[in-house]
Amino acid sequence: MHFFIERDRFVHDVQHVAKAVSSRTTIPILTGIKIVATKDGVTLTGSDSDISIETFIPKEDEDKQYITLEQEGSIVLQAKYFAEIVKKLSGEEIELIVQDQFAATIKSGSAVFNLNGLDPEEYPRLPQLEEELLFRLPQDMLKNMIRQTVFAVSTQETRPVLTGVNLESDNGVLHCTATDSHRLAMRKTNIERNDENLAFENVVIPGKSLNELSKIIDESNDFIDVVVTENQILFKLKNLLFFSRLLEGKYPVTKNMIPTQSKTTIQLKTKPLLQTLERALLLSREAKNNVINLKTLEAGLIEITSISPEIGKVTERIQSQSFEGEEMRISFNGKNVIDALKVIDSDEIKVEFTGAMSPFVIQPIEQDHYLHLFSPVRTY
Amino acid sequence: MHFFIERDRFVHDVQHVAKAVSSRTTIPILTGIKIVATKDGVTLTGSDSDISIETFIPKEDEDKQYITLEQEGSIVLQAKYFAEIVKKLSGEEIELIVQDQFAATIKSGSAVFNLNGLDPEEYPRLPQLEEELLFRLPQDMLKNMIRQTVFAVSTQETRPVLTGVNLESDNGVLHCTATDSHRLAMRKTNIERNDENLAFENVVIPGKSLNELSKIIDESNDFIDVVVTENQILFKLKNLLFFSRLLEGKYPVTKNMIPTQSKTTIQLKTKPLLQTLERALLLSREAKNNVINLKTLEAGLIEITSISPEIGKVTERIQSQSFEGEEMRISFNGKNVIDALKVIDSDEIKVEFTGAMSPFVIQPIEQDHYLHLFSPVRTY
What would the pLDDT profile of A183-200 be if each residue is shown by its tens digit?
A: 999 999 999 998 888 899
Domain closes at, from A240, A255, A270: A255
| Interface size, chain A vs chain B, as Cβ–Cβ contacts under 8 Å | 82
HEC string for chain B? CEEEEEHHHHHHHHHHHHCCCCCCCCCHHHHEEEEEECCCEEEEEEECCCEEEEEEEECEECCEECEEEEECEEEEEEHHHHHHHHHHCCCCEEEEEECHHHEEEEEECCEEEEEECECHHHCCCCCCCCCCCEEEEEHHHHHHHHHHHHHHCCCCCCCHHHHEEEEEEECCEEEEEEECCCEEEEEEEECEECCCCCCEEEEEEEHHHHHHHHHHCCCCCCEEEEEECCCEEEEEECCEEEEEECCCCCCCCCHHHCCCCCCEEEEEEHHHHHHHHHHHHHHHCCCCCCEEEEEECHHHEEEEEEEECCCEEEEEEEECCEEEECCCEEEEEHHHHHHHHHHCCCCEEEEEECCCCCCEEEEECCCCCEEEEECECCCC
Beta carbons of B116 and A89 less than 8 Å apart: no
Residues A40 and A99 placed together within one structural domain of the fold = yes
CB < 8 Å to B311, chain A: 78, 81, 115-116
pLDDT of B129:
80
Phi, then psi, of A303 in degrees rounded to 5: -105, 125
Same domain? For A274 and A325 the reply is: yes
Residues B42, B1 contacting (CB under 8 angstroms): no
What is the phi/psi pair of residue A16, to 5°?
-60, -50
Asked, for residue B379, whether it belongs to a domain, the answer is no
B117 lies in the same domain as B138:
no
The one-character DSSP state at A278 is H
Residues A249 and A148 in one domain: yes
Domain boundary among B198, B231, B255: B255
- Give a yes or no: residue B380 inside a domain: no
Determine the distance in angstroms separating the CA of A303 from the nearest CA of chain B, rounded to an integer.
10
Same domain, A38 and A80: yes
Give the residue numbers spanning the domain of A214: 134-255
Subunit contact A111:B279, Cβ cutoff 8 A: yes
SS3 content of chain A, % helix, strand, coil (to 5): 25, 45, 30
| A181 close contact with B: CB closer than 8 A | no
What's the pLDDT at B101?
85
pLDDT computed for residue A353 by the predictor: 96
CB-CB under 8 Å, B282 with A88: yes
Rounded to whole angstroms, the Cα distance separating A248 from B267 reads 63
- Asked if residue B281 and residue B223 are part of one domain, the reply reads no
Cβ pair B116:A90 closer than 8 A: no
Q: Using CB atoms, pick whichever of B112, B276, B315 lies closest to residue A316.
A: B112
Q: How far apart are CA A340 and CA A183, in angstroms?
A: 9
pLDDT, position B263:
94
Q: Is A239 within a domain?
A: yes
Residues of A in contact with B318 (CB under 8 A): 110
User: Looking at chain B from residue 77 to 106, which residues have their Cβ under 8 Å from any Cβ of chain A?
Assistant: 78, 81, 84-85, 88-90, 104
Q: Are residues B22 and B107 in the same domain?
A: yes
Q: Could you tell me if residue B366 is inside a domain?
A: yes
CATH number, domain of B22, equals: 3.10.150.10
pLDDT value for B377: 93
- Rounded to a whole number of angstroms, the distance from the CA of A297 to the nearest CA of chain B is 15
**Considering the domain boundaries, does residue B177 fall inside one?**
yes
What is residue B380's predicted lDDT score, i.e. its pLDDT?
Answer: 65
- What backbone phi and psi angles, to 5 degrees, belong to A146? -65, -50
Q: Hey, is the C-beta of A76 within 8 angstroms of any chain B C-beta?
A: no
If you count DSSP H runs as helices and E runs as strands, how many of each does chain A have, helices first? 6, 29
Split chain B (380 residues) into runs of 10 and give each run's mean pLDDT. Answer: 97 96 88 97 96 96 94 95 94 94 94 95 87 87 96 94 96 95 95 89 96 94 93 94 96 90 95 96 82 94 93 94 95 97 95 94 89 90
pLDDT beneath 50, residues of chain A: none
Is the Cβ pair A279, B88 closer than 8 Å? yes
From chain A, pick out residues whose CB is under 8 angstroms from the CB of B116.
Answer: 310-312
Residue B287 domain-assigned? yes
A173-200 residues labelled b (16+ CB within 10 A) or e (exposed): ebbbbbbbebbbbbbbbebebeeeebee
Q: Are A105 and A144 found together in one domain?
A: no
* CA distances, B191 to each of B170, B223, B227 (Å): 10, 10, 13
- Please give the tally of structural domains in chain A: 3
* Residue A9 CB partners (closer than 8 Å, separation 6+): A57, A66
Determine, for residues A81 and B113 on separate chains, whether the beta-carbon distance falls below 8 Å: no
- What is the predicted pLDDT for the residue at A42? 98
Give the distance from residue B306's alpha carbon to the nearest chain A alpha carbon, in angstroms.
Answer: 10
Residue B129 falls inside a structural domain: no
One domain, residues A139 and A247: yes
ipTM computed for the complex: 0.88
CATH number at residue B290: 3.70.10.10
Interchain CB distance below 8 Å, B114 and A312: yes
Instruction: Give me the helix-helix angle, A207-216 and A139-149, nearest 10°.
Output: 140
Pair A229, A326 in one domain? no
Contact B81/A283, CB-based, under 8 Å? yes
Contact between chains at B85 and A276 (C-beta distance less than 8 A): no
- Assess if residue B291 is contained within a domain: yes
Return the sign of the alpha-carbon dihedral for residues B55, B56, B57, B62: negative
Q: Closest partner residue to A279 among B111, B114, B310, by Cβ? A: B111
- The DSSP call for residue A40 is S
Are B116 and A275 within 8 A, CB to CB? no
Domain boundary, last residue among B230, B255, B280: B255
Query: Which among A111, A115, A278 is the nearest to B312, CB-wise?
Result: A115
Q: Are residues B145 and B115 in the same domain?
A: no
Kindly report the nearest CA distance between residue A307 and chain B, in angstroms: 9
Nearest to A314 among B111, B279, B313 (CB): B111
Q: Are residues A350 and A273 in the same domain?
A: yes
